[in-house]
Amino acid sequence: MFGLRWSCSASPSSRVGLRLSSSSYFAPYHVPLARTRRACCWSRCPNPEGVIRSPDLVELEYADLNLKDFYGAGCVGHVRIRQHVNPLSSSFATPVKVPEWDQVFSDPSLPLMVDIGCGSGRFLIWLAKHFPECRNYLGLEIRHKLVQRSQFWVNELGLKNIYFMFANATVSFEQLVPTYPGPLTFVSILCPDPHFKKRHHKRRVVQKTLVDSIAKNLSLGGQVFLQSDVLDVAVDMRDQFDVHTDVLKHIDFLDPQFTCDEQGWLSKNPMGIRTEREIHAELEGAKIYRRMYQKT
């Protein structure tokens, strides 16, 4: 992994600085993934074959969070959820109510990072714990059970710089972010639901309205980080953000410490921690496609 040095300046022009350390990068394991649908904790299930399982690696990656059981069933925060939901459903069509920012963050003037489709929330919680003075962190997730568990963990850890909301980001982003008192300096969209069928592409979270809103509300010097283990999804996200090349420049053109492959994908994860989906995909030997933009 790479060590991430967040700039703690509240200036809208501040940007993320990175300390590259390839020696500590968590290399992928190319072994078969054992699958199960049982509602038990992976790490506690018998594993006589000694197969490396992605949930075990997730627990290792986030071990320092020491997250408590959500349901007290002996499984670390186990929640059974639907993997994919239809964001076009009428139940997700109404923008969420804007929170009282001074009630959810101890200092709402700090720069804001928004993680769209934050999933379990571990990734964002890790950042909030390790970089508490630099930013506030807002996670938007369309699956309510995950939001409940994430906020439970936040409360257990006593973090005052992070908040999770049950929201359809495509619908609610424009209503939420402009009301935040501080600057929007970072947006991440990491391994969103792929919705593979062509007729379902309209369900993908990255739509023109969301991209336009991000480009408009992002502060000068702010960054957007995109990531997917599905090439078609990564290309779709890239193409939509490339529409705004007048204000959003790919990071390798601005900072030489970022390197890309021949197709223009970032060579390494710059965040200092991997998402759960990223861990799972690398375990299966999949390639991760990444892009980072900076507003100029």
Q: Classify residue 169: in a domain, yes or no.
A: yes
**What band does 143 get if pLDDT is binned at 50, 70 and 90?**
confident
**What band does 93 get if pLDDT is binned at 50, 70 and 90?**
low
Q: Classify residue 270: in a domain, yes or no.
A: yes
For residue 248, the number of C-alpha atoms closer than 13 Å in the C-beta half-sphere is 26
DSSP label of 190 = E
Is residue 132 over pLDDT 80? Answer: yes
Of residues 47, 58, 19, the one with CA closest to residue 282: 58
Q: How far apart (Å, rounded) are the C-alpha atoms in residues 125 and 164? A: 10
The whole-number average pLDDT for the span 118-136 is 96
Active site residue 193: yes
pLDDT of residue 86: 57
Q: Classify residue 21: in a domain, yes or no.
A: no
Q: Classify residue 243: in a domain, yes or no.
A: yes
Q: Classify residue 118: in a domain, yes or no.
A: yes
Q: How far apart (Å, rounded) are the C-alpha atoms in residues 263 and 283? A: 23
| pLDDT mean across residues, the chain | 81
pLDDT of residue 78: 52
- Those residues whose C-beta lies under 8 Å from the C-beta of residue 36, and which sit 6 or more positions away, are 42, 45
Q: Classify residue 206: in a domain, yes or no.
A: yes
Q: Where in the sequence is the domain holding 108, given as residue range(s)? A: 3-9+85-295
Q: Quote the number of domains for the chain.
A: 1
Q: What is the CATH number of the domain that holds 220?
A: 3.40.50.150
Is residue 261 over pLDDT 60? Answer: yes
Q: How far apart (Å, rounded) are the C-alpha atoms in residues 254 and 252? A: 5
- Of 69, 115, 193, 252, which is the active-site residue? 193
Q: Classify residue 282: in a domain, yes or no.
A: yes
Q: Classify residue 43: in a domain, yes or no.
A: no
